[in-house]
Structures are given as C-alpha cells and as structure tokens.
C-alpha cells in the first residue's frame, strides 16, 4: 500500500542583523518569492518564542532600472512599514556580503522610493530623501498649513510637537531629560490620535549641543526601539528648521549613534551609521 503524500515545506533561511541596536530578521525573497504573512512576521519577531526583532526585512528584485535590489519592511506586529533607515543600511551590507555588488556606491529601492548608498570604512551612508513638512504630506489632519509646534489637547494634557514625513510620519517632542521622557504615555496618545490617520513614529529629543542630540523613539507597530534611522532624520530636520542645531549632527540613541546631515532646505537628508551581522539561522516551518 502506498504511503500517503505529505506536504514538504522548506526551512526559511534568515540573517539576524542590527543597525545601532535596531534589530532585524532579513529574508531573501528575490525571484518572486511570496512575502511573509503577518502571522509569520509576528512569530519571527517574538522575543520569547521566535528569533526576536523590531522588523522583518525582505530582500527583493529591483523595481527601478539601475537599482541592485529592493526591500520591504514588516513590523513586529505584522503590519507593513514605509521606511526604515537602519534597515536600509543592513540591507546594503547584506547585499554586499552576498556579492550583489562590490561598488562603492549603488542604489536600493525602498517602499517609498530609491536611495543612493555609499560604503564607508565603518558602515554605510544612505540618502533618505527630502523631509516633507506640509500636513497633507505627512499626513497630519486638522491643520491647514505647517506649524511648529503643533499643539493638541489630549485627555487633559497639552502636547506640543513638531511633525514631518521622511517617507513615513513622525512627531517629535522636545524634553529636558531624555531619561525621563514619557514614551509609554505620550507615545501611544499621539500615535492613536485622529490627527495622524496612519499613526506616527513618536520621537522624544534632548538637545545637548548644536552638534549632538539624544533621541528615543516610540515606533509604529513596535513600541520603543533602540534606534530609529528615519526618526533620527526627522528629529534632526525639525530641530535644524528651528535653528537649534547645526546642519550636521550626531544623534545618540539607546543602541548607538547616527550621523545626520541636511545641508540646506532643498537638499535630501543623509544618514550614516553601522550595519552589524549577528547570526545566521533557519526557521523550521
């Protein structure tokens, strides 16, 4: 009697990486492989029963002529994300190690556009694009034009914040002491407010000097992260527009430091920082 057929599923190979402490599971999805399901993303991201990460990054075939690859971003809760600066550097390092390029400069396609990448002695620099301050572009509802700060009354609290899009929406709250920043309370209040129809990454920033700031970020779909590349760009752009910091600044996050530059208002923001391999593995499906 013939044995019954059994379904065979291949193990899923992955790389665990981090950029300044913002950690990822990287999957090779080139060749039209199906994207990971929300259920798989949640299982991989679980820090007790999975691999553990802030986001899952999928390496995919390039979308634009001249790009070496594209990538997509999936949050720990399974939702899709639009932008991730630390993830972009990790994807760049992964592709260089994989042999996709050995050029000192190349192009990657993210969910929101194409980004020039430069290899550095101690990491990678990514051109993140120009910040968008128009409320409709963030998107931020309830305001007819850019303001700084925006002010909301939420549950009896008055919250002032800056807002910008770096391909994804960001709110920024200045604090005197970053260690006492109210991430767990104010972060969700702003994320869930109706003025942010797509939610927002909420940053809390302390200005130490014109060349150095400290930042913590409460990220959409994740919670507090050890680093947020697009959040560092957003914080720097808002503070530069306020005239509080120089046009090139070190951003100190709980997991490490990033270098953000925005030479002038009509130029793109660039972000430089490390990309680190942690380990390789197989996920048994």
Q: What domains are defined for the chain? A: 12-125+275-283 (3.10.310.10), 135-267 (3.10.310.10)
Sign of the torsion formed by the C-alpha atoms of 205, 209, 210 and 211: negative
- All residues at 6 or more sequence positions from 158 whose CB lies less than 8 Å from its CB, including other chains: 151, 152
Residue 111 has pLDDT above 70, yes or no: yes
Separation between Cα atoms, residue 1 and residue 6, nearest integer Å: 15
- Known binding-site residue numbers for substrate: 22, 55, 75, 85-86, 168, 201, 219-220, 229-230
Separation between Cα atoms, residue 25 and residue 34, nearest integer Å: 16
Q: Is 84 a catalytic residue?
A: yes
Question: Does 6 or 159 have the greater pLDDT score?
Answer: 159
- All residues at 6 or more sequence positions from 59 whose CB lies less than 8 Å from its CB, including other chains: 26, 27, 28, 29, 30, 69, 71, 91, 94, 95
- Catalytic residue, candidates 84, 90, 195, 233: 84
pLDDT of residue 221: 87
Convert the pLDDT of each residue in 178-227 to its tens digit.
999 999 999 999 999 999 999 999 999 999 999 999 999 999 989 999 99
Question: Cβ-count burial of 269 within 10 angstroms (0-12 exposed, 13-18 middle, 19+ buried)?
Answer: buried
Q: 179: phi > 0 → left, psi -120 to 50 → alpha, else beta; which?
A: alpha
The reported pTM is 0.92
- Known binding-site residue numbers: 22, 55, 75, 85-86, 168, 201, 219-220, 229-230
Q: What is the dihedral of CA 135, 140, 144, 147, to 10 degrees?
A: -70
Question: Cβ-count burial of 151 within 10 angstroms (0-12 exposed, 13-18 middle, 19+ buried)?
Answer: exposed
Of 95, 171, 88, the C-alpha closest to 128 is: 88
- Give the Å distances, CA to CA, from 96 to 19, 56, 57, 101: 15, 19, 16, 5
pLDDT of residue 10: 64
SS3 282: strand
Running DSSP on this structure, what letter comes out for residue 197?
T
Convert the pLDDT of each residue in 1-54 to its tens digit.
444 433 334 689 999 999 999 999 999 999 978 889 999 999 999 999 999 999
Answer yes or no: are the C-beta atoms of 80 and 111 closer than 8 Å.
yes
Of 139, 90, 73, 86, the C-alpha closest to 251 is: 86
- Catalytic residue, candidates 41, 90, 195, 228: 228
């Amino acid at each position: 009697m013939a044995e019954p057929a059994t379904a065979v599923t291949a193990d899923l190979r992955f790389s665990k990486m981090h950029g300044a402490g913002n950690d990822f599971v990287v999957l090779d999805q080139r060749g039209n492989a199906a994207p990971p399901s929300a259920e798989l993303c949640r299982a991989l991201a679980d820090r007790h029963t999975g691999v553990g990460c802030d986001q899952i990054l999928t390496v995919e075939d390039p979308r634009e002529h001249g790009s070496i690859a594209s990538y997509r971003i999936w949050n720990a809760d399974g939702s899709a994300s639009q932008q991730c600066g630390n993830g972009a550097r990790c994807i760049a390092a992964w592709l260089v190690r994989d042999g996709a390029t050995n050029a000192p400069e190349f192009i990657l396609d993210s969910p929101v556009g194409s980004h020039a990448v430069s290899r550095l002695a101690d990491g990678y620099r990514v051109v993140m694009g120009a910040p968008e301050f128009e409320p409709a572009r963030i998107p931020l509802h309830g305001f007819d034009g850019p303001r700084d700060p925006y002010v909301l009354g939420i549950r009896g609290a008055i919250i002032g914040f800056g807002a910008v899009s770096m391909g994804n929406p960001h709110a920024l709250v200045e604090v005197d002491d970053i260690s006492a920043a109210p991430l767990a309370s104010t972060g969700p209040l702003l994320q869930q407010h109706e003025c942010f129809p797509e939610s927002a990454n909420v940053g809390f920033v302390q200005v130490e000097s014109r060349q150095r700031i400290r930042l913590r970020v409460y990220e959409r779909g994740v919670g507090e992260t050890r680093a947020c590349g697009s959040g560092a760009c957003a914080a720097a752009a808002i503070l530069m527009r306020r005239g509080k910091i120089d046009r090139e600044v070190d951003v100190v996050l709980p997991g490490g430091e990033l270098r953000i530059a925005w030479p002038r208002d009509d130029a793109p923001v660039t972000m430089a920082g490390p990309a680190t391999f942690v380990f390789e593995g197989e996920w048994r499906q």
